[in-house]
Amino acid sequence: MITKSDIETYAALRTRADRIRAMIHRRAVQAYGRAFGSETAENLDMCVIHNSLISFDDGKPWCEINYSEMRKAAWLCERSFEPGRICTAFYQRKSRS
């Protein structure tokens, strides 16, 4: 049974998860910018990340890319969903009990 306290706890956790996701995303954008030799980037393009890593794996790297930073950006993008998954798991576990 979900109580009002559980809902408030979930809302607080969701708010914290959103802040953590935003921090991870900001770090991914910074890594994406550094991959192109810039200190910052306005946004990141998952297609560019994917295509550059595929080209590298095929033995045709793009010469202007720092692949260490590009892999870091890809890794961070994948991890940005974890805080939300943890909140969802918490909610599902509480709703079963």
- Tallying the residues shown for the chain, one arrives at 97
Q: Mind listing the pLDDT tens digit for each residue in 26-75?
A: 999 999 999 999 877 888 899 999 999 999 999 999 989 999 999 999 99
pLDDT for 85: 93
Placement of tokens 């009990």 in the chain: 97
pLDDT for 10: 86
Name the pTM for this structure.
Answer: 0.83
Which residue in 92, 97, 91, 93 sits closest to 10, CA to CA? 91
pLDDT for 97: 66
pLDDT for 95: 73
